[in-house]
Amino acid sequence: MKFWRPAAAAGLVGSAVVTGAMAIVHTAVPSVPFLPLALAQAVVKAAPGGLATYFIERLGHWAIRLAVVGTLVAFLASGAFLGLLIPALTAGSTGRRLAAGALSFVPMWVLSVLIYPTPAESVGRGAFAALSLPIDLAGGAAASWTYARLAAAPATQATDLSRRYVLRALWWGVLGVLVGAADLGRLLYRRPDPGRKTLVLPDLMRVLRPPEVPADRAFAQVAGLTPEVTSNESFYVVDEEIIDPDIDPDTWRLTVGGVVGRPFGLTYEELKRLPAVERFQTLECISNTIGGDLISTAKWVGVPMPLVLNRAGVRSNAVEVVLRAAGGYTESLSVEQAMDQSTLLAIGMNDRVLPRAHGFPVRVLSVGTYGMKNPKWLVGMEVVDRPYIGYWEQRGWSKPALVKTMSRIDVPRSGSQVRETVTFAGVAFAGDRGISRVEVSTDGGKTWTPAELETTLSPLTWRRWLLTWGGSQLGGQSGILVRAYDGQGLLQTPKHAAPHPDGASGYDAITVRDESG
């Protein structure tokens, strides 16, 4: 058997040991990151804009998941290459052989320390270097011991023995990846999700639901129609973070600095004591597709951002406010938008404390923009005197990220069979412009019929619509389309466009078959 085969198999055993040991340490001490996952996060963030956009356009948010899987596999497989060093370093007695084998994994340790991404709430580079060195040396020693056994085996048994070691290494390595990537340490030791608690504030201006009109009652009877308000558990989640930051509110500070007269830091308790307001608002992801579900509505509670910025004293030469998140994500708003009373530092969601998945302790809530302009886990606001290019803009997405008018058909599902009378229903949204009219076509766009509109919760939310239609009027298989007009009377564009770079456009469409005849 060629020398490189047992060496590669032995190296794979070594990387499985390293992976498993790191998973165990991370589980016991969550502040020590599971390196393969931390590297995956770093790879995702460091990906060139064009490359990231290319894969997101073709794979959607599976692109991030696949990048993570690829990084984890590469980390595990790296041992096979390091194993090729073992034959050159291994010689003499067992003790020297284990020591020499341990040296074969020193390059893994050096590289991991050099590219250590220092995730939020994790130990520093020096502490990580000290903690990871014995783990990598143990992996190298295990690889050397395995190589010695494979090299000493009779030729007739060597291939079978190598195969068994490889399979065992893969099994244990994958188990280590699953334990580490599942972030078991945080699941076991992390604080309970703050979103379970009811939010209590001393100074809160509550919002009232608009009075219901008789026509609104019909919407409650439509099975499958999107709820008017999305529960916290069902609210869409799209993150560049692989693991949600677990922030301690007692130590969290919101720093405000840059082109200001009085830089300062604000504690969570201080923020909660400021005057806050409630409002209903819809958020939509810029990567939402036509008819997609990356859009939700909640009742939010937040402190107007100008209250905080005014305390800092924004200078006259300020251009933008850079928003920094705990995980390293950055975005920016123009000074005009940041100083608008409509821009909030959100701390509550649907009468609860802001859940971890949605940005606890604080996220930004701006109006008329896609979700990318509303960072979660906010830790800093820096006023700058020049335009700033944020995380997604660096990857080719729109800087203004203004919401386009959209409409969606929720019921019936495409391909459904309908009889006699059928109810078409869904939602429409146009950011802060509101929705004034929705129309449905049952003949593929030749003619359009106005739909009924439910009283909207606020000018910042989606609007539900419905149209009751006689199935016998459809005539066999029909193409159903929907379109909306914003509050200014402007019709959404029928031109089809993919989400990149500034949001999807085009009419949502389904097909139904009339079986009433």
Q: Is residue 54 part of a domain?
A: yes
Q: Is residue 400 part of a domain?
A: no
Q: Is residue 11 part of a domain?
A: yes
Which of 407, 341, 397 minimizes the C-alpha distance to 371? 397
User: Any long-range contacts for 207-215 (C-beta under 8 Å, 24+ apart)?
Assistant: 207/277, 207/278, 207/279, 207/280, 207/299, 207/458, 209/457, 210/455, 210/456, 210/457, 211/455, 212/455, 213/455, 215/452, 215/454
Which has the minimum average pLDDT: 33-37, 414-418, 478-482? 33-37
The count of structural domains within the chain is 3
Extract the runs of DSSP E, i.e. beta strands, from 105-207.
204-205
Half-sphere exposure of 298 (CA within 13 A, CB side): 25
User: Any long-range contacts for 3-6 (C-beta under 8 Å, 24+ apart)?
Assistant: 3/87, 3/151, 4/84, 5/159, 5/162, 6/147, 6/150, 6/151, 6/158, 6/162
What does the pLDDT read at residue 487?
96
Same domain, 54 and 149: yes
For residues 463 and 225, what is the distance between their CA atoms, to the nearest angstrom? 12
Same domain, 317 and 175: no
For residues 111 and 102, what is the distance between their CA atoms, to the nearest angstrom? 15
Q: Is residue 401 part of a domain?
A: no
Q: Is residue 194 part of a domain?
A: no
Same domain, 168 and 253: no
**Taking 80 as the threshold, does the pLDDT of residue 191 lie above it?**
no
**Taking 70 as the threshold, does the pLDDT of residue 120 lie above it?**
no
What residues contact residue 156 under an 8 Å CB cut-off, 6+ apart? none
Q: Do the Cβ atoms of 286 and 497 come closer than 8 Å? A: no
Q: Do the Cβ atoms of 83 and 143 come closer than 8 Å? A: yes
pLDDT digits 0-9 by tens, 423-452: 999 999 999 999 999 999 998 899 999 999
What does the pLDDT read at residue 33?
77
For 165, the domain range is 4-188
pLDDT digits 0-9 by tens, 459-473: 999 999 999 987 556
What does the pLDDT read at residue 90?
63
Which of 43, 23, 37, 245 minimizes the C-alpha distance to 132? 23
pLDDT digits 0-9 by tens, 269-320: 999 999 999 999 999 999 999 999 999 999 999 999 999 999 999 999 999 9
Same domain, 387 and 472: no
Same domain, 66 and 153: yes
What does the pLDDT read at residue 69?
73
φ, ψ of residue 289 in degrees (nearest 5): -90, 170
Note the pTM of the prediction, 2 decimals.
Answer: 0.76
Q: Is residue 166 part of a domain?
A: yes
**Taking 70 as the threshold, does the pLDDT of residue 142 lie above it?**
yes
Which residue, chain included where needed, has tokens 């309970």? 192
Of 395, 427, 458, the one marking the end of a domain is 395
Instruction: Measure CA 388 to chain center.
Output: 22
Q: What is the percent of the chain where pLDDT is above 90?
A: 52
Same domain, 271 and 369: yes
